[in-house]
Amino acid sequence: MAQANTPWRGKSVLVVDDYMAVRKTIKELVLSLGMVPTEAENGLKAQEILKSQPVDLVITDLVMPEMDGFELTEAIKNSPEQRKIPVVIISTHADSKYIFRALRLGADDYLTKPPTAEMVNTVLTRIFDHEW
């Protein structure tokens, strides 16, 4: 699969989801856009990765064991070292109460599953049009 020549080519993205198949789908999408993915199966594992390597973007599921996407988003946005990392929530929950809660906690965007390349591309364009 050829990688796109995008403004975010080479940026690192942490994909957080408890389902390997979902992580694989999102990983393939971001790879096709020229990004470098890393995977974690829950928020606790994601926090370990965030402490050990630089990440330009986090894409996280909401419902996961041990630490969910709400808790992960809140932890990132309350951390002086990590707060500028954009966080995109991706979930099957399309109800406005989930979306509003995620945005209140600091999420930069919210997508519903299943993600498409067009959806991810649109969000990345919005996020990386800003100087972080």
Domain boundaries, the chain: 12-128
Model confidence, pTM: 0.91
Q: What is the pLDDT along the chain (132 residues), one digit of tens a residue?
A: 445 567 788 999 999 999 999 999 999 999 988 899 999 999 999 999 999 999 999 999 999 999 999 999 999 999 999 999 999 999 998 889 999 999 999 999 999 988 888 888 889 888 887 544
Residue 78 exposed, middle or buried by CB count within 10 Å (0-12, 13-18, 19+): exposed
SS3 73: helix
How much is the pLDDT for 115?
A: 86
**Count of CA atoms in the C-beta half-sphere (13 A) of 36:** 8
**What kind of fold does domain 12-128 have according to CATH?**
Rossmann fold (3.40.50)
Q: Which two tokens stand for residue 82?
A: 């990590």
CA–CA dist 34, 53 (Å, integer): 19
How much is the pLDDT for 5?
A: 64
CA–CA dist 70, 92 (Å, integer): 14
